[in-house]
Structure 1
């Protein structure tokens, strides 16, 4: 699927590289027992040993290879036991440990409560020691103010606003208020400001980015090869409607008051945005100059994740190159993805069967007017 979200797991500053005494079995066991996912194709040597493989767990990647005694690279069992514990965060430590033990792991310490979270310890069939932890839930953090480059508002552009309102009400449970014009709707009851805008053949999610100074942002947009209208005043701040150098419409605005960035998405809310663009290098150059975004390479080909410094953009933003026309594809969080997929199909849209991925379970969909989106269950 060329349009999959790009927040794939990645290598961090410190990463594990495991030596195992049966590489082919390990490539099956870690996905079955711990929910890992193979990243790319493993390297198989001429003698049949696994020379290198990468597996994703959560937001991280670990590597493994068969033992190489000739290089003094052997697993824990050959050395008399594990000398390192691998720390694995999971939503449900009890279930994760039980599944691993059922598939052949040795239970070293049963799951129990501890100050830092509920945890247990297992030893996998290859001798590696895993501390499986569900961290203690921290008190909710105070809402964070919008930063330059954060997404402050989105509007789903559709040809027929009435059809779109009916479709997303059936699928996501959206409710609406009238907008400022006949073609506009405001979605009620979300923690995120979301709207619908009809009469648009360019099917995309129109995004409005926070900036410190709209006038300066307009100059940066024009200097970078984009188009920007003169700023005008809206109830939520000074705003300019714009287009990047590849035809993607967007807006920049100066937030008023204590505008805050969206927090963790609830059912029916946006959890991720994928910017599909013809040329990823041009996109990165343009939005780096305009919004100060930095980009981290994803694990899908020509996929990138947008950052503000060391932090993610709010909403979470990824980008994927090689598309015929620029568009923004949202992912909506749902509590029950099977029910949501059935609702999409019943409402006249299309949906792939839910597929388990590193970031959760997702389905690629289109609504009954051809607008693309994802459903995601985390």
Structure 2
């Protein structure tokens, strides 16, 4: 009688994995490894890809191989599982490259659909913009592409041409870097004029942030208020007695009365403007419960008051890179990012660009960044503003956080520099980034 377990003694012979499975697994592992530990700072996601007015739809002679090759050579990302026909051919597949979608399918000669190799060569070029054309072209050639034109400089940018292994012609370019226009002096409509850190115990906050960021303080307008003094370009305060730990934000506007009407028209609430030494101010709440303020400085801006909550904005400061202890970035966390974008687009005229994490958005103001740079992130239980503070020596600052009773991750390199995710001794979240 044949031993039924004999088959188990047969040596295992490795086989090549299915290319689609291998490409999908490789991309998922790559995304997981590049994903940041915290979604607040937008660090590692490609721009949001979507269908454009014109979308390439390629016919290839090897759908599985093409999907794998475009992921490895052109930094493509899987959008969904491909549609597999009964005969095994790929009927439809979608990849994202940068902010756009690339569709492809196998050849279907019975419908007159053939790839460029079967028709004698390409009949069109696909124009692809990338951050580093030399790297992309070199990698594509190493993975089997034909170099049709070496990379070189042109008036419109640095450009090279390849023919991929499936016969399609790609013109790959890195455009000429545009010199951003100089930002005008002072705050613009929609910029942040003042921030106040809200937390339960103001005295503990004075001890913690004085030790970590070397902040110095002046008395506020009440027992719960403190004003940070000595910062060159920003107005920052503390306000105690608040259980919801967040950073309160006050936006500069050109016309506070008009802005109040916009807040109300967009579904939010706004108090009647009140006159303060630094201008007219209105306390507001958006349609998702996010509290903020708007202020209109007087024609001749006076000195900011010593402290208040949330008072203290100034309009005449020059806009430079953040100094040690100043805010380098703000992330506004909201439940619904679409509602927030609609609201603040109507109220402050903000525009939004896709960020580096899912449902993350960079805030733009008149074609440039809001001051200080600000992001929006959806999917949170309640609105919270999380700051990023600039420091000269991140390692020293991280040690100070830990010695002062807070927590801090070890410094890690990010596209914008070294960064650490922190929590103070009262549970307030923030980040540190090295100047």
Aligned to 2:293: 251
> Structure 1's 36 and 261: CA in aligned 2 closer, same or farther, altered over 3 A?
farther
Counterpart pick for 1:33 among 60, 68, 73: 73
Q: Indicate the SS of the match to 1:134.
A: strand
Contact 1:208 1:250 in 2 (8 A): yes
Contact 1:20/1:26 (CA < 8 Å) preserved in 2?
yes
Following TM superposition, by how much is the alpha carbon of 1:252 offset from its aligned partner in structure 2, in angstroms? 1.1
The structure whose Rg is larger is 2
Q: Distance in 2 between matches of 1:137 and 1:75?
A: 35
Q: Deviations over 1:51-78 (max 9, x none)?
A: 1213131xx1222222242444443333
TM-superposition CA deviations, 1:293-348 (whole Å, max 9, x none): 57799998877776779x57734543424x32112345789999xx88x9599845
Q: Is the 8 A contact 2:280 2:295 kept in 1?
A: yes
Q: CA deviation at 1:99?
A: 2.3
Q: Which residue of the partner structure matches residue 376 of structure 2?
A: 318
Q: Structure 1 unaligned segments of length 5 or more: list them.
A: 170-174
For 1:163, the equivalent position in structure 2 comes to: 208
Question: Contact (CA 8 Å) 1:344, 1:351: kept in 2 or not?
Answer: no
For residue 63 of structure 1, the aligned residue among 102, 108, 116 is 102
**Which residue in the other structure is 1:197 paired with?**
238
Aligned to 1:119: 159
Match of residue 24, structure 1, among 49, 59, 64 = 64
Q: Distance in 2 between matches of 1:263 and 1:313?
A: 13
Relative to its length, the structure with more strand (as a share) is 1
Separation in structure 2 between the aligned mates of residue 154 and residue 97 of structure 1, nearest angstrom? 46
Gaps of 5+ in 2: 1-34, 300-314
Q: 3-state DSSP class of the match of 1:290?
A: helix
Among candidates 218, 224, 236, match of residue 260 of structure 2: 218
Partner SS state of residue 29, structure 1: helix
Distance 1:213 1:76, change over 3 A: same
Task: Measure how far apart 1:214 and its partner are.
Answer: 0.7
Q: What SS does the aligned partner of 1:55 have?
A: strand
The higher-RCO structure (CA 8 Å, 6+ apart) is 1
| Mean Cα deviation higher: 153-162 or 209-218 | 153-162
Cα 1:134–1:296, aligned 2, differ >3 Å: closer, same or farther?
closer
| CA–CA distance in structure 2, aligned partners of residues 73 and 260 of structure 1 | 63
After superposition, the Cα gap between the structure-2 partners of 1:243 and 1:111, relative to the gap in structure 1 and judged at 3 Å, is same
Q: TM-score, normalised by structure 2?
A: 0.62
Whether the aligned pair in 2 keeps the contact of 1:362 and 1:374 (CA below 8 Å) is no
C-alpha contact 2:282 2:295 (8 A) present in aligned 1? yes
User: What are the equivalent positions in structure 2 for 1:1-378 lying under 5 Å apart?
Assistant: 3=39, 8-39=48-79, 41-47=80-86, 48=88, 49=90, 51-57=92-98, 60-69=99-108, 70-143=110-183, 148-158=189-199, 160-164=205-209, 166-167=211-212, 169=213, 176=215, 178=217, 181=220, 183-185=226-228, 188=231, 193=234, 195=236, 197-199=238-240, 200-222=242-264, 224-228=267-271, 230-233=273-276, 235=278, 237-254=279-296, 270=328, 273-277=331-335, 279=336, 283=340, 286-287=343-344, 289-292=346-349, 314=370, 315=373, 317-321=375-379, 323-329=380-386, 343=398, 347=402, 348-349=406-407, 365-368=421-424, 369-372=426-429
The CA RMSD measured in Å over matched residues stands at: 4.8
Q: How far off is 1:288 after superposition?
A: 5.0
2:118 partner SS = helix
Answer yes or no: is the 8 Å Cα contact 1:122–1:129 preserved in 2: yes
1:248 positional shift: 1.3
Q: Distance in 2 between matches of 1:140 and 1:213?
A: 27
| 210 and 133 in structure 1: CA distance in 2 versus 1, 3 angstrom threshold | same
**Partner Cα distance (2:155, 2:317) in 1:** 31
Number of equivalenced pairs: 357
Partner of 2:306: none
Native 8 Å contact 2:198 2:246 kept in 1: yes
Q: SS of the residue aligned with 1:80?
A: coil
What is the CA–CA distance in structure 2 between the aligned matches of 1:139 and 1:283, rounded to whole Å? Answer: 30
Distance change (3 Å), C-alpha of 1:221 and 1:372: same
